[in-house]
Structures are given as C-alpha cells and as structure tokens.
A = this chain, B = another copy of it.
Amino acid sequence: YETFAAEGRVRRATGIVSTICDDRGEEPTYGGVAISDLMAAERGIGDAISLLWFKRDLPRWATRFIELVLVLCADHGPCVSGAHNTIVAARAGKDLVSCVASGLLTIGPRFGGAIDGAAQVFLDAHDRGLEPDEFVADMKRRGLRIPGIGHRIKSADNMDQRVKARNLVLNVDGAVANAFLDLWASSSSFGREEIKEMTQIGYLNGLFVVARSIGLVGHSLDQMRLKQPLYRHPWDDTAYYCE
C-alpha cells in the first residue's frame, strides 16, 4: 500500500491537468456542454470556441463576431508567408498536415500574430487616457513599432476596403484587436485583469491560427489538385554574399 501511495504521489506530480474538454463520459463535453446538445441546438463554431477557450456560453452576437473574424482571416492569397510556405511544401510532395504546419510556423510578430500585441498597447493607451497622437508619439519615443499598424504592400494610397484610417494604415491584426477589445468591454462577464491576461497569453492570435488553417488547407489541396512540380526559388532573384 505504501508503495502504491508513493507511486500515487509521483503520478500526481507528473500528471496532466486540463480544464477545457471532458471526455470521460459517454461523449465529450465542451466547457460542460455535451457535443450532441450543441449540435441539437444548431450551435456553431463560435459557440464551440467560446466554450472551449473562454469557458463561457457567450451570447449569439459575440459568437457570431468570432465567426466573422474567422471568415475575414481565412485567407489572403498565395503570396503571404504562410500560404507561400504551404505551397512550397505541397509542391515538394508532402502530406496535407506537413504542408499546413510548414505554413502555420510563419505566423508571428510580422505575419498574423500581432493581434494580442495590438490589443495590449491599445488597452494600455486607453487606460492611460492617451489621445491617438499622444499614443503614437509615445511609441515613437520608446522606439517601438505599433503592432497592428503597417502592411507589407498596402499603403495609404492603396488602402484596403476593410480598414479605414487617416494617416496610419491599420492592418487586419489591428482591426481585429480593436473590435475584440470592444467585445470584451461590452460583455459584462470579463474582468479587466482577465482581459489583460488573455492578451498576454495570446487568445486573439489563436483566432488567426484557426482562421488561417482554413486557407492553408485550401492552398495545399489546390496545389495537389494542380499537380504542381517541385518549387525552386530562381537563382537570379537571389543575392549571394559568400566570400
């Protein structure tokens, strides 16, 4: 018995703790709600995310907003880092999951992964009561780029329909961050500290990851269907500085 107890302690120490989905019963539950109940009630992906990530049964307008973000970010063409790496992997004859993973691994500070960073600085600026130009001046003084601002190819002259800004081009990451801060503020069930923690952990970038996985799967299937050959980057587009 002692051995058993000792072992029990060891196992407790190294075991897994998990709080999002309970699969011990007849069917898994998402945040306490059985999948079949979700399906019977005609609930959608916004509800599943809301239960699994936010552990809350958010109202329809909020879950619908989550779904809009997923649609908006599902794909932005074959030229961006994520789609490009997925396409190169697909043309190397790799399986779907490898292609998607190769593309996902480019999501980060410069591509798709600035949503939480943007939410953090916007929230902080709001809390400190900064006016927009004070905020910009402050970031400049600290030598920091404003996450959620800037786009590799869009400029103020060639402005994206979806985002509006006078002298700074808000990119998708910034727009989603802004809208989500409003959502959290409008829903009475999130505390200030919890909101801050979620942006530090990266909840909003999680939405981009799920959304863009739709596009990356799409690009893999597309290249496979088109039977595209092995990609090799052209030599004449490469500058070699090797001694």
Interface residue ranges, A against B (CB under 8 Å): 1, 3-4, 7, 10-11, 14-24, 26-32, 35-36, 38-39, 43-45, 47-49, 52-53, 55, 67-68, 70-72, 74-81, 83-85, 87-89, 91-111, 113, 152-153, 160-162, 197, 201-203, 205-206, 209-210, 213-215, 217-226, 228, 230-243
Distance of A211 from chain B, by nearest CB (Å): 9
Are B87 and A113 in contact, CB atoms less than 8 angstroms apart?
no
- CB contact between A29 and one of B20, B30, B242 (< 8 Å): that residue: B242
- Taking a contact as CB atoms under 8 Å apart, the answer to whether A76 and B230 are in contact is no
The answer to whether A88 touches B84, judged by C-beta atoms less than 8 angstroms apart, is yes
**Most chain B CB inside 10 Å of its own CB: which residue of A23, A76, A224:** A23
| B113 A28 Cβ-Cβ under 8 A | no
Q: Is the CB of A105 within 8 A of B101?
A: yes
User: In the complex, are the beta carbons of A162 and B230 less than 8 A apart?
Assistant: no
Point out the residues of chain B lying under 8 angstroms from A111, CB to CB: 92-93, 230
A236–B10 CB distance below 8 A: yes
4 additional A-B pairs beyond A14-B233, A102-B106, beta carbons within 8 Å, are A31-B242, A48-B214, A80-B232, A98-B98
